[in-house]
């Protein structure tokens, strides 16, 4: 049975980015069964809302430091100014027009640009640079559509969808935001649908929350196991590669044990030695992909 996932997130949300290890493990275990529908939140149309609340680049940089505990790569130091997320969200809708099915890969590419560089991700040249990671994507065609009426309409429709969390399990669990008046889903919120049943994992959640939902929706379905010290087989499923923390979460098969980054790195380095995996410095860590 296929499982549809409404994936409500924003490329500029550090909580959404920090959930990447759990999402990578979910994709590895159940990828062939999952059908993803990206809904862009549009957390901050521009930087004015942050400025009104007294934020500045230094304060935002300090806030980012707390997210290092979750293991994803981050850049060091503050940006030149605050940025909004609306322009990048529109780019994802343009990707959907130009290359349907690539929006999730584009979403990840924008996240990597956002959190592992100091690029100002509300500027078109920087958005284009980040999207250049997506294999085969016509970035020029995407950028030409950013101000198209159909892209704007799709973006505004997503913003409305993301602000329908009132009375939901996500709100009940305290994972929704009411700061804008309308109650909105926080990033990343996943709504799983199968056989007429909808189950929510709202906001930042551990892998086990996703795994329990899939098990309840279809306990007879396929669940992929981990290959024996062949990380290249895992990486082949991820067009933009994985960070060390993501690979370590994929490798964690016993929830009673902590994530073992060292074991993951050693396995990846052995694969580099075999010539099957390549490594790219990324922020304060690395990105591993099929050679």
**Portions of the chain given CATH number 1.10.10.10:** 231-290
**Portions of the chain given CATH number 3.40.30.10:** 3-217
Give residue 24's pLDDT.
98
Euclidean distance between CA atoms 135 and 199, whole angstroms: 33
DSSP state of 186: P
Give residue 50's pLDDT.
82
- Phi, psi for 80 (deg, rounded to 5): -65, -30
Euclidean distance between CA atoms 107 and 102, whole angstroms: 9
Mean pLDDT by 10 residues, the chain (291 residues): 96 98 97 96 88 85 91 93 96 98 98 96 97 98 98 98 97 91 95 96 97 94 90 97 98 87 97 98 96 95
Residue 167 bridge partners (DSSP): none
- Cis peptide upstream of residue 90 (ω within 30 degrees of 0): no
If one looks up domain 3-217 in CATH, what number appears? 3.40.30.10
Name the CATH topology of 231-290: Arc Repressor Mutant, subunit A (1.10.10)
Give residue 48's pLDDT.
83
How many residues does this entry show for the chain? Answer: 291
Give residue 145's pLDDT.
98
Q: What is the pTM of this model?
A: 0.96
Euclidean distance between CA atoms 110 and 202, whole angstroms: 22
Give residue 210's pLDDT.
97
């Amino acid at each position: 049975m296929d499982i549809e996932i409404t994936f409500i997130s924003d490329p500029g949300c550090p909580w959404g980015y920090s959930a990447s290890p759990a999402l990578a493990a979910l994709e590895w275990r159940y990828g062939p069964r999952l059908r993803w529908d990206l809904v862009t939140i549009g957390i901050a149309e521009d930087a004015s809302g942050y400025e009104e609340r007294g934020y500045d680049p230094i304060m935002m940089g300090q806030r980012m430091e707390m997210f290092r505990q979750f293991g994803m790569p981050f850049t060091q130091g503050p940006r030149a100014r605050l940025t909004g997320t609306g322009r990048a969200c529109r780019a994802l809708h343009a990707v959907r027009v130009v290359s349907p099915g690539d929006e999730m890969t584009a979403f990840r590419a924008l996240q990597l640009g956002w959190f592992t560089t100091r690029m100002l991700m509300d500027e078109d040249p920087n958005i284009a640079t980040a999207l250049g990671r997506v294999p085969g994507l016509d970035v020029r065609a995407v950028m030409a559509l950013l101000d198209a009426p159909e892209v704007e309409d799709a973006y505004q429709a997503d913003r409305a969808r993301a602000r329908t969390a009132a009375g939901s399990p996500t709100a009940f669990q305290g994972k929704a935001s009411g700061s804008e008046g309308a109650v909105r889903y926080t990033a990343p919120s996943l709504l799983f649908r199968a056989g007429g049943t909808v189950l929510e994992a709202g906001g930042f959640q551990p892998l086990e929350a996703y795994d329990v939902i899939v098990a309840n929706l279809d306990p007879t379905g396929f669940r992929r196991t981990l290959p024996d010290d062949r990380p290249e087989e895992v990486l082949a499923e991820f067009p933009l590669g994985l960070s060390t923390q993501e690979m370590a979460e994929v490798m964690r098969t016993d929830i009673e044990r902590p994530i073992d980054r060292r074991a993951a790195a050693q396995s990846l380095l052995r694969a580099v030695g075999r010539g099957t995996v390549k490594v790219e410095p990324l922020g304060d860590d690395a990105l591993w992909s099929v050679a």
